[in-house]
């Protein structure tokens, strides 16, 4: 697998407590899904999280956060 197990440990432990969260290996990493939608994933040593538009402006400037850039185009709503 392509994801870093140390990075994935905390979200895996947290989401295992929730029956409505499904863990799925996909997109070259491990994805966490709710009602069929990916909301969080670990790829390599990076935790990717989908955030709502209300939190977007506040989240991106933080030093540990950045926009997700897939193939040269930023993915709005993900940090």
Rounded to 5 degrees, φ, ψ at 2 are: -95, -10
pLDDT tens for 18-66 read: 999 999 998 778 999 999 998 898 988 888 888 887 888 888 788 878 7
pLDDT beyond 80 at 75: no
CA of residue 57 relative to chain centroid, distance: 17
SS3 state at 13:
helix
Residue 59 main-chain phi, psi, to 5 deg: -80, -45
67: pLDDT strictly greater than 80? no
Contact of 15 with 47, CB cutoff 8 Å: no
């Amino acid at each position: 697998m392509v994801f870093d197990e140390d990075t994935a440990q905390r979200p895996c432990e947290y989401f295992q407590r929730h029956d409505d969260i499904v863990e799925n290996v996909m997109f070259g990493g491990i994805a966490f899904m709710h009602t069929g939608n990916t909301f969080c994933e670990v790829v390599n040593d990076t935790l990717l999280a989908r955030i709502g538009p209300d939190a977007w402006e506040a989240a991106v400037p933080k030093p540990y956060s950045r926009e997700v850039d897939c193939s040269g185009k930023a993915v709005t709503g993900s940090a």
